[in-house]
Structure 1
Amino acid sequence: MPRYRAIISYDGTNFFGWQVQPGKRTVQYEMEKVVNQMAKNPAEHIRVQGSGRTDTGVHALGQVVHFDLPFDIEAESVRKGLSSMLPFDIGISQVERVSTTFHAQYSAHTKTYRYRLSVTEFRDPFKRNYTGHWYRRLDYDKMALAIPDYLGEHDWLSFAAAGFQAKTTVRTVTRAVIEDHRDEGEIVFEFTGTGFLYNQIRIMVGVLLEIGMGTRPVDDIPRLLAAKDRQQARLTAPASGLYLKSVDY
């Protein structure tokens, strides 16, 4: 069976995350529904494998998925056909034929996540589903000084929400930057790494917000990493500001 890789975007507002869950609307469920329709309802259900899970309310700009079809069809025809059947909060920007050895999750080298934070006192109703909102005063320079402490290979146990299922909490962050868009009312964080634990990015942002407020020392991140204690990292930023930006192979 030929294998296809697709890059998809979705507005996570009305989804209970990526992974199929009984009785809940998820991105994987919607993708599998249309792929199986395209395959003319095969005897064996076709699974759509994503590069990783996103949680309830989290968005994707470049989620990568793969699936097998029981017949050979031009990749662009697959893209157009699936696009015509998908709901409006999921879009497919690219489809290509790949080797059957390709796996959207296990072949990935790094992932990049983007977090948008609205920092105006006015809570913009048109941003409520697409940014986190923080109305308290933040010291941008303190956060910029602290964020490089996330770089490198670390045990991220202090930054993993309860209920994670990973075999190891060791991950490597290769890029951690903060972008100043305060003239547009936002601050943006970006992180690239070999993988991230359940809620890890949102907890990383939460720690930076505490540093920006002055309720946590600028040099506290190394201590948190060494502590390996989730209770030490208190704040979790809202899901609405988080985007899976891209996956590299």
Structure 2
Amino acid sequence: MPSGRTDRGVHARMQVISLRLNEDVAPAELPQRLSPFLSPDVGLCVAKRPPGSFHAQWSASGKEYRYRLTLGAPPSEAWRPYALDVAEDATLQGERAVTPERLEALLARAVGTRDFTAFHERSSPQKARTLASATLRERGGGLYEACLEGDGFARYQVRYLVGSALKVAAGLLSEEQWHAALDAGTSLAGFKAPAHGLVLWEVRYPSAVDPFGPGERLHPPGLPDSPPFT
């Protein structure tokens, strides 16, 4: 059982899987036992026996996603497969250039507890969700990352929030439409940002059932020290 699903093309720095075995296997043996069944682009960093009540999905208390994009400069070759080049995306060519200050202010406006129905697929339950924070960080060389933390996210929610905020910042949607979509769920002609810029960065659990220590969260053993995991 995974902590949740990721869209095709979305990356995951930390996806959590819980499973039951029909034989007694030491956690240290699991990476070697499971590796032959994993595709080449999936790695297993940590395997351990969690508290008895742990469930990868239902025990989760929150998640953090990071969306990488470039403003004012094309992405470096190392980041090109993992970041949206805003200046080159035809959907985002509007009346004005997107500025970091404008984009950050729009994302901050989305913080709070609300029904994000205007920003997710109908296949996800319509209910109140809490977006605890939404910030924009500069990584250098024109690279930025939008960091969104919350108690849970509906299908495509992060991609629609970031993409639609970019459309507003570019002058393709009005700020009034953005506010109405957030506050009243009014539909808008939003933009689902491409999957390749998104990373499931972290899955969080209450301390009583969290299988992972601070060091494992900060530096997961075996995780490549390269984009999109840096």
Correspondent of 1:179 among 137, 144, 155: 137
Aligned counterpart, 1:107: 59
Structure with the higher strand share, 1 or 2 = 1
1:147 is matched with which residue: 107, 123, 141? Answer: 107
Give secondary structure in 2 for the equivalent of 1:78.
Answer: helix
1:140/1:212 contact within 8 Å kept? no
Q: Which amino acid aligns with 2:113?
A: E
* Cα separation, 2, equivalents of 1:122 and 1:97: 44
Matches within 5 A, 1:189-228: 189-218=146-175, 221-228=178-185
In the alignment of these two chains, the number of paired residues is: 197
Cα offsets for 1:118-140 (capped at 9, x unmatched): 33554666544312221153111
Say whether 1:247 aligns with 2:203.
Answer: yes
Distance 2:110 2:77 in 1: 32
Relative contact order (C-alpha < 8 Å, sep 6+): which is higher?
2
Q: Is the 8 A contact 1:119 1:187 kept in 2?
A: yes
1:59 aligns with 2:15: no
Q: Which residue of the partner structure matches residue 22 of structure 2?
A: 70
* Distance in 1 of aligned mates of 2:176 and 2:72: 26
Could you report, residue by residue, the CA deviation over 1:209-239 in whole angstroms, capped at 9, with x for unpaired residues?
1232133445654321233233x14211101
Indicate the residue corresponding to 1:14 in structure 2: none
Q: TM-score, normalised by structure 2?
A: 0.77
Query: Contact 2:136–2:146 (CA<8 Å) still a contact in 1?
Result: yes
Contact 2:68–2:144, Cα closer than 8 Å, also in 1: yes
Structure 1 length-normalised TM = 0.72
- 1:67 alignment partner, SS class: coil
Q: Is this contact kept in 1: 2:71–2:100, CA < 8 A?
A: no
Mapped partners of 1:149, 1:221: distance in 2:
9
Provide structure 1 residue ranges, at least 5 long, that are not aligned to the other structure: 1-48
